[in-house]
Structure 1
Amino acid sequence: MLDVRFSSALKAMLLLGHAEEQGSPVLSSTQLARSLDTNPSLVRKLMVPLVQDSLVTSIKGRSGGVRLGRPADRITLEEIYRSAIGDKPLWAPRPEGPRECLVTNHSAEYFLRLTDETEAAVLAALAGRTLADSLDELRAIDRAGGTPAPERQLSAPSR
């Protein structure tokens, strides 16, 4: 099953950053759930590590909710990723079987090295982007007439 914790956390953080820019920095779990097409209970669970890592601040009470824990230009996508995913590896290795040849003797070690290298590249790419940068990218897509995701046709990326 595909893990959507990072994409969900990133979208929630983008919604909070946008709300802050619009002058309404506090969003309830119900508001976030509507935008994430899920239920408020799942949003509250998603917020727990983000609050623990001070990326989000929780406001208690009747008009409570969550808001960014610091300015969007001081929150990197790497921080959001690490908070949402925790120490779960990017890929899960296959269970080891009998060691009978070059492949079965060394594939687990090779896979571990490949995973480490790939995770380092992903984290480096995310570390170079802030939440504010991402909001700017969304505005650029909007200005260029980007189609909202549900209406977009799925196609192979152009190279």
Structure 2
Amino acid sequence: MFDLRFPTSLQIVLSVALAERDGLRCTTQVLAAGLNINPSVIRSLLKPLREKLVIVETTGKVGGLSLGLPHDKSSLWDIY
């Protein structure tokens, strides 16, 4: 069986970056619907990304996900 954590995490980061660029709010529900994955899987993949500060999560009514690292400071290794 293939390990899909890295490509899915990469897709999550890219989706968050595109949503941020377009001024849209990105949530785990939006990501789950877009990737056709259970939201609990998205949340488990977000945990290491939040720990490495690749993704920052804000809570509340207008909360959501955003990039934590500057574009020029991040690499694929941060996601892996």
TM-score above 0.5: yes
Q: Helix, strand or coil for the counterpart of 1:14?
A: helix
Structure 2 length as normaliser, TM-score?
A: 0.89
Please list, as runs of the form range in 1=range in 2, the aligned pairs for 1:92-107 lying within 5 A after superposition: none
Count the aligned residue pairs: 80
Task: Give the aligned partner of residue 77 of structure 1.
Answer: 76
Contact residue 17 and residue 72 of structure 1 kept, 8 A:
no
Higher strand share: 2
Q: Which runs of 5+ in 1 are unaligned?
A: 82-159
Structure number with higher relative contact order (C-alpha < 8 Å, ≥ 6 residues apart): 2
Deviations 1:67-115 (A, max 9, x none): 110222321011111xxxxxxxxxxxxxxxxxxxxxxxxxxxxxxxxxx
Runs of 4+ deviating beyond 6 Å: none
**Sequence identity (%):** 36
Pairwise CA RMSD: 1.2
Q: Which runs of 5+ in 2 are unaligned?
A: none
Q: Which has the larger radius of gyration?
A: 1
Q: Does 1:48 align with 2:35?
A: no
Structure 1 length as normaliser, TM-score?
A: 0.47
Q: Helix, strand or coil for the counterpart of 1:54?
A: coil
Letter in 2 for 1:63: V
